[in-house]
Amino acid sequence: MEALGWNRYGGWRIGIRSHDKKRYYYYAHLRQNRPYAEGLKEGDYVSAGDVIGYMGHTGYSDRENVNNIDTVHLHVGLELIFDEERRENGNEIWVDFYQIARFLSANRCEAVRDETTKEWRRKVAFRDCFFFNNVIEYKQ
C-alpha cells in the first residue's frame, strides 16, 4: 500500500504499487467516514481478493470527507511505470480500465453448469480464427 488518504479530486483514495514496481493501481471516490477496510494502513501488503475499501462518492472538494459526486461508483486507474524518472517528470502512462472492461464484457463467453458432474464449461465451443485476405474464417 503506497498511498492512503484524502485527495481534493479523488476524495478518499488508495494507491497500490506492484511488487515489481512496474504498475500502480489507483482507487478513488471511496465511501465517506469509513472508506477503508478496518486496520488498513500505508505500507501494508495486499493480495488479489483482499477487501481494501468501499465504493462511495467523495471528492471534488477542498474539505476532507465531503461527498460532492452524485453517483456512488469506483474510479479505477492503472499506471504503467517503465521509467521512474519519466513518472516523476509528469510523463505517466495510464491505462483506461473502462475501455478494457467494456471490451471484456462484450467478448465474454457464458458458462453453464453440468448438473450431473457439477462442473462448469463454456456454453459455446472455442473456434480458431484464421485471417485470409482480411476475411475471418472460423474453424469449428
9-38 pLDDT, tens digit each:
999 999 999 999 999 999 999 999 999 999
What is the 8-class DSSP label of residue 65? Answer: T
**Whole-angstrom Cα distance, residue 80 to residue 102?**
20
> What is the total residue count of the chain?
140
Q: Which of 59, 41, 52, 39 is nearest to 3 (CA)?
A: 41
Helix (H/G/I), strand (E/B), else coil: 55: strand
Query: Mean pLDDT over residues 103-115, rounded?
Result: 81
**pLDDT for the residue 17:** 94
Domains belonging to the chain, first-starting first, are 3-110 (2.70.70.10)
pLDDT digits (tens, 9 = 90+) for 56-101: 999 999 999 999 999 999 999 999 998 888 888 888 899 888 888 8
**pLDDT for the residue 128:** 52
Confidence of residue 104 (pLDDT cuts 50, 70, 90): confident
The grid cell for 68 is 460532492
